[in-house]
Amino acid sequence: MTIQEMKQDILRLLRRNARIPDQEIADRLGLEVAEVAAAIAQLENDRQVLGYSAVIADGATGDDEVSAIIEVEVQPERDGGFDRIAENLSRFPEVRSAYLVSGRYDLRLSVVGKSLQEVAHFVASKLASQPGVRATATHFMLKTYKEAGIQFHEDETYERLKVVP
Amino acid sequence: MNDSKLSRNWVADHIARLPRSGIRDFFELVNTMDDVISLGIGEPDFVTPWHVREATIYALQKGFTSYTSNLGYMPLRRSVCRYVAERFGPGYDPATECLITVGVSEGLDLALRALLNPGDEVVYHEPCYVSYAPSIAMAHAVPVAVVTKEETEFALDPAAVEAAITPKTKVLLLNFPSNPTGAGLTAEDKARLADIAVRHDLLVISDEIYEELTYGERTPSIATLPGMRERTLILNGLSKAHAMTGYRIGYACGPQALVEAMMKIHQYSMLCVSSIAQAAAIEALENGDGPRREMLREYEQRRNVIVKRLNALGLPCLMPRGAFYVFPRIAGTGLSSNDFARRLLEQQKVAVVPGTAFGASGEGYVRCAYATGLEDIEEAMRRIGRFLDSLG
């Protein structure tokens, strides 16, 4: 296993479960724990791993109950295209994710807030008013079915036979 | 059968002579117990990937529910031949050299019945999958087992194969990667076995159901070696690598005359394989590479864990080259394979398969499948540790 392959294997495991213990990574990949810890530290240092977060059921935390997908149409700038304005919008803590996308609009943001009004107010006063933003369309999210590769509903499982030679 | 004794001995002699599986009582005991962690299951714990299940539903919606060609649905045969040529085997003509079967089990049965006259001998290796010797016997032929040993990583010694060959030997039956040992064949082993097959004019049945569950270096099928395509039958299927055991899709690729002979039996006994399962198999072969590789990676990592744990517990265990089984040696406990399995089940509710299920040479070993989630594997290892402590 090359160092590059080792790092890729570690990243795949962390993407599936950010809380996986270093020891389990080491056992799975046939490495020493110290090697794993050093590799992860380096991945973090190199900003290959940018952070860790949990996938949480709708409403479980009690705050930021409302989220919305905002499509943003932007006038790109002569220098830097979409980057400056996208980075500016990303600085608002209400913006949970921000992507440049192909298609009939340019940026796809997800925004959270305590209420419909709060999100609507944020979009109107902070996003739509930014220089370079030509139009926005807000889609309030009603229910989550899947996020970060994790299904929110449990599939019924079928019990296998206990012994099959 | 106790309450309904036959009015005379109606059962055919060669079936009556088949040994009753000694471990059936053990299996029945397992099935009566709750909260068992089973390392005894020879099938993936992954559910069939959704895109394959969805394709199955679509086949039903379209009404693809009639008989197919006896050989199998032509688009599936084309997919199979393309897949085999790309992944591990030679090129085969989907029109004449490929037969879709009900799992590898039917493929093996058809091949043995198509090839063997009463008294012909089949050389195979042991420990091996439970059905080999009975299937050979049901074809009125003689099973000749060559024992593989832990000291040589359960590899098949070509010299031992050659020593087992008699003028009556017609078929060499191979299964690598192997159930239950996880052993593989190196390119050199394959070349030597091919040389033996050519020199002794043997037909090779190569059961490659675990080929796509090979970890590390893979070598092409023995059928690709010089002089072998015309004397090799590849048996494979989608059960293991594509997590489709219940679909019962296998295939046989080989020389036209043999496929034709197998097809004769298949058309009279089976007619054709389930049409919707065949439709699903096309989807798996054409678009299933991503999920297959992901499952393979997970098996490999579990293998690393279980091998480390078993060795640390003092149950010596080789690193398997393929399949999803480890075959640790338990002889050091002083227990027989059967007693070990039974007492482990009764005391700690962990199910493993006694090595003797795979032939007498499996005595002193048990088979643990790692087609089970890592949490269960870890808990099973803790319980095995407690069990070993209790033995003192």
Supply the angle between the helices B289-312 and B374-391 in degrees, to the nearest 10: 20
- The confidence score (pLDDT) of residue B238 equals 98
Task: List the one residue out of B172, B258, B247, B250 whose CA is nearest residue B210.
Answer: B250
DSSP state of A125: I
Query: For A73-89, how does the pLDDT look when each residue is reduced to its tens digit (9 = 90+)?
Result: 999 988 889 999 999 99
Number of H helices, E strands in chain A: 5, 6
Over 70: is that where the pLDDT of B277 sits? Answer: yes
User: Which residue of chain A is at minimal alpha-carbon distance from B32?
Assistant: A162
Query: For B284-306, how does the pLDDT look when each residue is reduced to its tens digit (9 = 90+)?
Result: 999 999 999 999 999 999 999 99
Q: Is B287 on the interface with A (CB under 8 A)?
A: no
Alpha helices in B218-331 (DSSP H): 256-269, 275-287, 289-312
Residue B188 exposed, middle or buried by CB count within 10 Å (0-12, 13-18, 19+): exposed
Q: Are A29 and B301 in contact (CB under 8 A)?
A: yes
Q: How confident is the model at residue B3 (pLDDT cuts 50, 70, 90)?
A: low
Which among B45, B130, B305 has CB closest to A27? B305
Rounded CA separation A89/A109 (Å): 9
Q: Cβ separation of B374 and A160 shorter than 8 Å?
A: no
pLDDT below 50 — which residues of chain A?
none
Distance of CA B72 to the CA centre of its chain: 22
Rounded CA separation B365/B181 (Å): 10
Alpha-carbon distance B309 to nearest alpha carbon in chain A (angstroms): 9
Which among A9, A155, A163 has CB closest to B41? A163
Q: Is A162 on the interface with B (CB under 8 A)?
A: yes
Q: Are A105 and A71 in contact (CB under 8 A)?
A: yes
Residues of chain B with pLDDT > 70: what percent? 99
Q: Give the CB-side neighbour count of residue A102, counting CA atoms within 13 A.
A: 0
**In the predicted model, what is the mean pLDDT of residues B168-173?**
98
Backbone angles phi, psi at B290, to 5 degrees: -60, -55
Over 90: is that where the pLDDT of B189 sits? Answer: yes
- The confidence score (pLDDT) of residue A162 equals 84
Alpha-carbon distance B371 to nearest alpha carbon in chain A (angstroms): 11
**Three-class SS state of A98:** strand
Which among B302, B305, B353 has CB closest to A163? B353
Task: List the one residue out of B211, B156, B163 whose CA is nearest residue B321.
Answer: B211
Task: List the one residue out of B93, B63, B89 whose CA is nearest residue B77.
Answer: B93
Q: Is A154 on the interface with B (CB under 8 A)?
A: no
The Cα-based distances of B189 to B179, B186, B229, B240 in angstroms read 18, 5, 17, 24
Instruction: Tell which A residues from 4 to 63 touch B, by Cβ distance under 8 Å.
Output: 9, 12, 24, 27-30
**In the predicted model, what is the mean pLDDT of residues B30-48?**
92
- The confidence score (pLDDT) of residue B22 equals 62
Q: Is A161 on the interface with B (CB under 8 A)?
A: yes
Rounded CA separation B59/B281 (Å): 11
Contacts of B345 in chain A (CB under 8 A): none
Query: For B91-147, how does the pLDDT look when each residue is reduced to its tens digit (9 = 90+)?
Result: 999 999 999 999 999 999 999 999 999 999 999 999 999 999 999 999 999 999 999
User: Which residue of chain A is at minimal alpha-carbon distance from B301?
Assistant: A28
- The confidence score (pLDDT) of residue B60 equals 97
Mean pLDDT of chain B: 95
* A157 Cβ contact partners less than 8 Å away, ≥ 6 residues apart: B47
Q: Cβ separation of B27 and A24 shorter than 8 Å?
A: no
Q: How confident is the model at residue B20 (pLDDT cuts 50, 70, 90)?
A: confident
Residue in A27, A35, A163 to test binding to B, most B beta-carbons within 10 Å? A163
Over 80: is that where the pLDDT of B50 sits? Answer: yes
Over 70: is that where the pLDDT of B276 sits? Answer: yes
Q: Longest Cα pair distance anywhere in chain B, in angstroms?
A: 63
Which among A12, A24, A161 has CB closest to B41? A161
Q: Residue A126 carries which side chain, given as an amino acid letter? A: K
Query: For B324-354, how does the pLDDT look when each residue is reduced to its tens digit (9 = 90+)?
Result: 999 999 999 999 999 999 999 999 999 999 9
Q: Cβ separation of A164 and B43 shorter than 8 Å?
A: yes
- The confidence score (pLDDT) of residue B1 equals 47
Which among A27, A158, A165 has CB closest to B42? A165
**Three-class SS state of B172:** strand
